[in-house]
Amino acid sequence: MTTRRFQLDGPSVDALREKIRREHGSSARIVSLEKVTKGGIAGYLARHSYEATIEVDEPDNVPQAGIAALIADAEEAEQNLGYEVSTSGTRFDAVMQSLEAQTREPTAPEPEWNATPLVTASELSPPRARHSLALPAAEHAEPDITLLSSPGSLVVFIGLGSDPLDVSRTTRGLLAVAGHGRPRGIRPVFDRRSAYLARADAVADNVPVVLAWRLSSAVASDDELSGLADLQPDQVWVVVDARHKPEDTARWVGVVAQSVRVDAVLAVAEDETTTPETVARLGIPRGRVTSPSLARVTDADEDESAETVG
């Protein structure tokens, strides 16, 4: 079973959903959704449309490809900036030989429908601040965004305290941490090279990389998100506590949205507040995490009482 990604657009959310069902069937999963504004002056006479990135499982033997191309593209960009990413070492060479062996098989022909398959993270649009997507209240009744599951994909959960790590642990993926106060014993991802190596290991395990990014507080600055966009994440989730003040939550979520595109919001503790609807005011599509299972911890098993390192 091969998971492929496609990007489609439509004049409205309902029309886009119908197009997805018609062209890809009911099993297609939406992994990102955004509103696009074109033309106009100060918002007047502008044309609006919606773009969605979807995942489709195809029953064929198409090999997983793209990690080698991802690294090659990134290294070329690094050289243009005047410095290099080291890919020397027997461990890295062994990983690359394994990946290249998979990609030598012939690929399946492209589908005839008018959609662009998204193969690698380097081919995606660069991270950017997301337009506010104020969907009608009914749109938020059921979560629309599902967790990206493609092997080697990088999914980032960002939040306060232990929330992003707690959520990451319930997913199926290669667990990694970044941000403020990284716990010992869990694989850190702190730059492009460590992200590429994590992606390569995840491809070998046939799972995505699940990165928990912790912010220090609701008044965290964008300095705490330094380097996030450089990792080229395929999907970014914000994990919000529904019990917190809406103003505080909106502030730190806004800081994240200025640094990288936010694809989904996941609310926790909604049953512990009388105003869970405040999460919908963020204007971000709701997400869901299905089929929970413990994420794989690499390098060492984390001690629950372990100290943190800055």
Rounded to whole angstroms, how far apart are CA atoms 167 and 9? 30
Say what the pLDDT of residue 299 is.
42
Amino acid symbol at 87 = T
Rounded to whole angstroms, how far apart are CA atoms 272 and 12? 34
- Rg, Å, the chain Cα set: 20
Instruction: Give mean pLDDT, residues 6-30.
Output: 85
Say what the pLDDT of residue 21 is.
85
| Band (96; pLDDT cuts 50, 70, 90) | low
Say what the pLDDT of residue 165 is.
94
Q: Across 96-100, 104-108, 205-209, which has the greatest mean pLDDT?
A: 205-209
Name the superfamily (CATH) of residues 137-309: P-loop containing nucleotide triphosphate hydrolases (3.40.50.300)
Are the CB atoms for 203 and 146 separated by under 8 Å? Answer: no
Residues whose CB is less than 8 angstroms from the CB of residue 280 and which lie 6 or more positions away in sequence, other chains included: 137, 140, 286
Per-residue pLDDT reduced to its tens digit, 134-192: 334 434 344 578 899 899 999 999 999 999 999 999 999 999 999 988 788 899 998 99
Amino acid symbol at 222 = D
What is the residue extent of each domain of the chain?
2-62+115-119, 67-103, 137-309
Say what the pLDDT of residue 77 is.
62
pLDDT, mean over the chain: 75
The residue among 7 and 188 whose pLDDT is bigger is 188
Q: Tokens 């912010």 belong to which residue?
A: 215
pLDDT of 68 over the 60 cut: no
| pTM score, whole prediction | 0.56
Residues whose CB is less than 8 angstroms from the CB of residue 86 and which lie 6 or more positions away in sequence, other chains included: 193
Per-residue pLDDT reduced to its tens digit, 271-304: 999 888 889 889 899 988 864 443 444 444 444 4
Say what the pLDDT of residue 18 is.
86
Per-residue pLDDT reduced to its tens digit, 219-277: 988 899 988 999 999 999 999 999 999 999 999 999 999 999 999 999 999 899 988 88
Say what the pLDDT of residue 19 is.
87
pLDDT of 80 over the 80 cut: no
Are the CB atoms for 60 and 10 separated by under 8 Å? Answer: no
Domain 2-62+115-119 in CATH 3.30.1660: yes
Rounded to whole angstroms, how far apart are CA atoms 10 and 16? 5
> In angstroms, what CA-CA distances link 269 with 143, 274, 288?
16, 11, 14
DSSP string, 56-107: EEE-S-PPP--HHHHHHHHHHHHHHHT------SHHHHHHHHHHHHHHTSPP
pLDDT of 2 over the 80 cut: no
